[in-house]
Amino acid sequence: MKATFQNELFAVFDDFLSRDALDQVWNGFREEPMQYVKSRAAVRVFRPLDGEPLAGKPIFNAPRSSGGDVPLYPSGRPIDAVVEAIEGAAGTFEPWVGRKGTDWTCFSATPFMYPMGSGLSWHRDSRDRTGSFVAYVHPEWRDSWGAELLVESAAAEGGSAANAGWGQYVTPMPNRLVVISSQARHAIKKVDLQAGENCRASIAGFFQK
C-alpha cells in the first residue's frame, strides 16, 4: 500500500491489497447477495434522486460499544481480506479517524455496488463515527465512467464548511483506498451512462466510537 495523496480531511492509498487478495475479493463480490439500499431500514443519507445503489451484508471487526448482535470478522467471506488490511494499517489512518481503542472501538465493512445512474448526495458522517473508508474492488475503471468521490475543502476559519464552494475529487481507480475524516463533507458523483453495465464496486465502512 502506498500513500498517493493526503490533506487534513482525507487520504488516498493505492495498491491497497495484494493482487491475489484483490482478485479474491472481486470474485467473491460478484457472488454477494445484495439488495437495494433504499429498501433497507434506517437509511437516511440516500435520497430519492441518488439512483439505485445496492448493498450486501456488513461485518464488523469487533463488537460495537453500543452492543447488539452484529456479524463479526472472520466471516468466511472474501470481504475478510479488506477487514484484515484495514486492521493491519489502523495506525496509518490515525490522522483522519483517530486511534483504535481511544477514539474508535470497531469498524464495519459493507459491499456496495453503484450501477449506471447511481450516486450519493452531499453529507457528513454521523456523530457516532470518527470517519470512514472506501476500497474500490472493480477490476477496471475509466475516467468517462464517472463515480468520483467528491470532497469539499474546509471553509475558512469561522465560516461554514457547507459554503466553501470548492474541493477535490478522487477517481475510483481499482485497488484504491480512501480514508475520510468525519469532518469532511463528501458525495459520490453518479456513474455515467458511458459506464454501461460496469458498476462501481466497493467495500466501504465506518469507524465507530
Question: pLDDT 10s per residue in the chain (209 long)?
Answer: 999 999 999 999 999 999 999 999 999 999 999 999 988 655 667 888 899 999 999 999 999 766 667 789 999 999 999 999 999 999 999 999 999 999 999 999 999 999 999 999 999 988 899 999 999 999 999 999 999 999 999 754 444 545 668 899 999 999 999 999 999 999 999 999 999 999 999 999 999 99
Q: What is the pLDDT of residue 126?
A: 82
Where are the chain's structural domains? 5-34+51-208
How many Cβ atoms sit within 10 Å of the Cβ of residue 169?
Answer: 10
| The pLDDT of residue 46 | 81
| pLDDT value, residue 159 | 47
The residue whose grid cell reads 430519492 is 48
Q: Which of 102, 101, 170 is nearest to 133 (CA)?
A: 170
pLDDT at position 156: 47
Q: Which three cell numbers stand for residue 16?
A: 491497497
Q: Are 45 and 166 in contact (CB under 8 A)?
A: no
Residue 156 grid coordinates: 475558512
Long-range CB contacts (within 8 A, 24+) of 15-21: 15/175, 16/85, 16/135, 16/175, 16/176, 16/177, 17/81, 17/82, 17/85, 17/135, 17/175, 21/81, 21/85
pLDDT of residue 163: 61
- All three cell numbers of 114, joined, read 453503484
pLDDT tens for residues 114-129? 999 999 999 998 889 9
pLDDT computed for residue 67 by the predictor: 64
Rounded distance between C-alpha atoms, residue 77 and residue 28, angstroms: 7
Residue 47: per-residue pLDDT: 82
162 has which bridge partners?
A: none
How far, in Å, CA of 54 to CA of 117, rounded? 12
Q: What is the pTM of this model?
A: 0.93
Determine contact, residues 200/137, Cβ cutoff 8 Å. no
Fold of 5-34+51-208: Jelly Rolls (2.60.120)
Distance CA 103, CA 100 (A): 6
Cα dihedral sign, 40-116-175-32: positive
- In sign, the C-alpha dihedral spanning 13, 20, 173, 190 is negative
Q: Do the beta carbons of residue 40 and residue 54 sit within 8 Å?
A: no
> 48 and 108 in contact (C-beta within 8 Å)?
no
